[in-house]
Structure 1
Amino acid sequence: MTSYRQPGIVLTDRRFTVPLDHADPAGEQIELYGREIVASERAGAELPWLVYLEGGPGFGARRFHGKQAWLGRAVQEYRVLLLDQRGTGRSTPQNRQTLPQRGGPQAQSEHLAHFRADSIVRDCETIRPQLTGGAPWTVLGQSFGGFCATHYLSTAPEGLRTVIITGGLPALDGHADDVYRAAYPRMQRKVEAHYDRYPQDVRRARRIAAHLAEHKTVLPGDYTLTPEAFQSLGILLGGGDGSHQLHYLLENAFVRTGGGHELSDAFQESVRATLSYAAHPLYAVLHEAIYAQGAEPTAWAAERVRAEFPQFDAATTLNGAEPLLFTGETVHPWHFDVDPALRPLQEAADILASRTDWTPLYDPARLAANGVPVAAAVYHDDMYVDTQHSLDTARAIRGLRTWITDEYEHDGVRTGGPRVLDRLFSLARGEA
């Protein structure tokens, strides 16, 4: 283990070995990485543990420096483990460079099926005794991390002292179709709110989309920017400052050259950095699989359901006079065409989309009998996780207390930091 310091905290690198398939504990092993963080003044103290499960899927735990965001509040009383979930960050990576070693697309898809919430929770239960000596710990789950926490409550509540969920209460029995059928109207509301704030962006977005429809545009790094890919910049609108980010990106789109107007290098680089899945390919490959339960395939739900909302079709919009609608947290088959980080994984992703033997992720009966203190922040019009689905699940988990707020967007635990975490701790402890 290596320890080092940042202002106000001591950090320790930790590595763990876990089975790839927990049903075969003697089989292939993979490595997990976690970063332990404790307040400098409490480095030698006996403290309870809190494990943070990042959103995603496919993202490593956030890299903080010092007591940023919610971390400063957490280290007042906990020793924190920022866990890079399997396949992410510094844990054994899963991407276009490593997955071909598994074999062909079928073998890759079978391998990737071990990277959902069920395996992540088994990982947590494998490493928990090594850190806590067997004592239960507190889980903080952001977004997809909250999905993992809900699975944890369904399968291993004995390992939990408290559960805190921020923007991550999943539908317990909804198909991916239901998720996206609820999502497209939310996306439209967010885009309309953006245009109300920045009406000049209506013209800018249409102009950019029209340019892309007429000119094949390949960004630095070989990313092909189609009108549909451009629309997916709407994923920014789910964050607290996302509307402002999108506005500043759009205003810098064109530059005048000797041959007329072209998309500027600055715009192209910013778009590539925003849209590329190179740093988190599992987000694309497994995104619909996180909703899969039972025998019904996901079958590219976001793409199929999008057809029910023709107002999102870029070509139709450009042939008329309506504002271009951006999309949000949706993954489509064409993402695997336009993004070089995903192209080699397309066949494996197709096989996952057709899979019909997914195990259930949640146990409604066990959740109805829950005895673990749970508190959840539910954002009033969360772009990424449907509010009504979250509230239905909140009612299904015995003893769960909700904080419903429109003060924050989906990233409230980051932008609201100590205030959000303090509120949820108080709810979980019955102090509020």
Structure 2
Amino acid sequence: MREARGMMHRHSGLIFTGHTLSVPLEHRRPTGPRIEIFAREVRENDPAAESRPFLLYLQGGPGHRAPRELPVWLRRAVRDYRVVLLDQRGTGRSTPLTRQTLARVDDPAGHLAHFRADSIVADAELLRAHLAGDRPWSVLGQSFGGFCAVTYLSFAPQGLREVIITGGLPGLTATAEDVYRAAYPRVLAHNERYYARYPEDEALARRVVDALRDQDARLPGGDRLTPRRFQTLGIHLGSQARFDLLHHLLEEAFAGPELSEVFLRRVDAAISFAEFPLFATAHEAIYGQGAATGWAAHRVRDEFPAFDLDAGGPVRFTGEMIYPWLFEEDPALIPLAGAAGRLAAKDDWPALYDPARLAANEVPVVAAVYHDDMYVDRDMSLATAATVKGLRPWVTNEYAHDGLGRSERVLDRLLELLKD
């Protein structure tokens, strides 16, 4: 490992140190092509902090980099740990995957197949070996980061001292179809909560859909905003921090009879995958185990006619679903359409979890399960919690999926569970 030159700095009473590591693209072929991963270590500006154990933070996603700001949970974590913020492979400063970089790859789909939880865990083990030697470290996994933590428990538990999961206990054997069949009703429930708070928005959303059919509304990049892309704004309804975003967009939607430029610019920022193309391209692949995912969200949607914009009923927004037509309409995704299609057809995905190993688990594990989580199914999470030996769940309806980032109390509660 080499430390990135000039990456140690101090502010807000904390010391930040950057680390860069060259790792195999495919860990089963250590002499093959290599990529880089980047991690930022954060500790208190106190000599005593140097002897604290490491805590690896695994961000939600897939395809999202580690936080650059100072989230509330980080302030709590550094009191007990030296925190390692890993830009998971393909994100942030870890050899980013974008339409530009993938254009230089001979086999984009084959390349992308190595950006799931199993590869992220293998990266983490190499990073741990450098920073902590043979000492196990703690892991905090948020959302998809929690999925990665369960993969870690399955295949490299010797590297773990303890595991903390927030909103990220996956269904161990759930197929992509299972995931989305359970997800659509939760998204509808969040639509109802939204309209209960803003009842006037129901008519306004229908007015926008009708306008998008009649007008050639163009986003800043020149692409047309279609009704079905507008409908994807519901992805934000599962987050406490962004639940009201749709309302703030709708209240400035029109400038007379036309959709306003302000609205179109803000919608573009909320739905474009230009910053996170890996999220869209690899999203269903995170559920692949031994079978093709086959655009499951798109296929299962037909079972829920409430989302049909052509039926003339009230507009219901979709959630964290990726559809093949997004790769025709979002300019950031159009060059990735071929790779995404091949990933959807891939039918030889390796297992991500080992139920037998988890049933014999000896690593202390605690998990926050959000009762009304829109993104991760509560029942699947609790079934997994019952499967992992020794896992202590905390079920709460006090927080949404982003509870870890909203209140220091979430991490504090889970650390107390670990101490008990």
Which TM class, normalised by the smaller chain length?
over 0.9
TM-score under structure 2 length normalisation: 0.97
Matches within 5 A, 1:179-190: 179-190=179-190
2:148 is matched by which residue type in structure 1? C
Matches within 5 A, 1:380-391: 380-391=371-382
Matches within 5 A, 1:155-234: 155-234=155-234
Kept in 2: contact 1:223–1:276 (CA 8 A): no
In the alignment, which residue of structure 2 is the partner of 1:241?
241
The C-alpha deviation readout for 1:238-280, integer Å capped at 9, x for no partner, is 0113332211111110112xxxx21111111111111111111
In the alignment, which residue of structure 2 is the partner of 1:374?
365
Q: Is residue 41 of structure 1 aligned with residue 46 of structure 2? A: yes
User: Structure 1 residue aligned with 2:270, among 274, 295, 303?
Assistant: 274
The C-alpha deviation readout for 1:317-363, integer Å capped at 9, x for no partner, is xx3xx321001000001111111110000011000000011000000
User: Structure 2 residue aligned with 1:95, among 88, 95, 98?
Assistant: 98
Q: Is residue 298 of structure 1 aligned with residue 293 of structure 2? A: yes
1:90 is matched by which residue type in structure 2? R
Secondary structure of the equivalent of 1:224?
coil
1:281 Cα deviation from its structure 2 partner: 0.5
Unmatched runs of 5 consecutive residues or more in structure 1? none
TM-score under structure 1 length normalisation: 0.94
In the alignment, which residue of structure 2 is the partner of 1:314?
309
Kept in 2: contact 1:368–1:397 (CA 8 A): yes
Kept in 1: contact 2:50–2:82 (CA 8 A): no
Matches within 5 A, 1:110-125: 110-125=110-125
1:43 Cα deviation from its structure 2 partner: 6.8
Take 1:42 and 1:274, find their aligned partners in 2: how far apart are those partners? 42
In the alignment, which residue of structure 1 is the partner of 2:392?
401
Distance 1:239 1:44, change over 3 A: closer
In the alignment, which residue of structure 2 is the partner of 1:392?
383
Take 2:224 and 2:324, find their aligned partners in 1: how far apart are those partners? 14
The runs of at least 4 aligned residues of structure 1 exceeding 3 Å deviation read: none
Secondary structure of the equivalent of 2:180?
helix
Kept in 1: contact 2:241–2:402 (CA 8 A): no
Take 1:37 and 1:221, find their aligned partners in 2: how far apart are those partners? 37
The C-alpha deviation readout for 1:152-173, integer Å capped at 9, x for no partner, is 0000000000100000000000
For the aligned residue pairs, the C-alpha RMSD in angstroms reads: 1.0
Take 1:43 and 1:255, find their aligned partners in 2: how far apart are those partners? 58
Take 2:374 and 2:177, find their aligned partners in 1: how far apart are those partners? 16
Secondary structure of the equivalent of 1:98?
helix
Matches within 5 A, 1:330-345: 330-345=321-336
Take 1:205 and 1:211, find their aligned partners in 2: how far apart are those partners? 10
Unmatched runs of 5 consecutive residues or more in structure 2? none
1:299 is matched by which residue type in structure 2? G
Secondary structure of the equivalent of 2:204?
helix
Secondary structure of the equivalent of 1:171?
coil
Kept in 2: contact 1:17–1:32 (CA 8 A): yes
1:21 is matched by which residue type in structure 2? E
The C-alpha deviation readout for 1:2-34, integer Å capped at 9, x for no partner, is 211121211111111110000011111110011
1:73 Cα deviation from its structure 2 partner: 0.6
Secondary structure of the equivalent of 1:82?
strand
Secondary structure of the equivalent of 1:31?
strand
In the alignment, which residue of structure 2 is the partner of 1:429?
419
1:323 is matched by which residue type in structure 2? P
Kept in 2: contact 1:222–1:339 (CA 8 A): no
Secondary structure of the equivalent of 1:17?
strand
Kept in 2: contact 1:373–1:429 (CA 8 A): no
1:41 Cα deviation from its structure 2 partner: 2.1
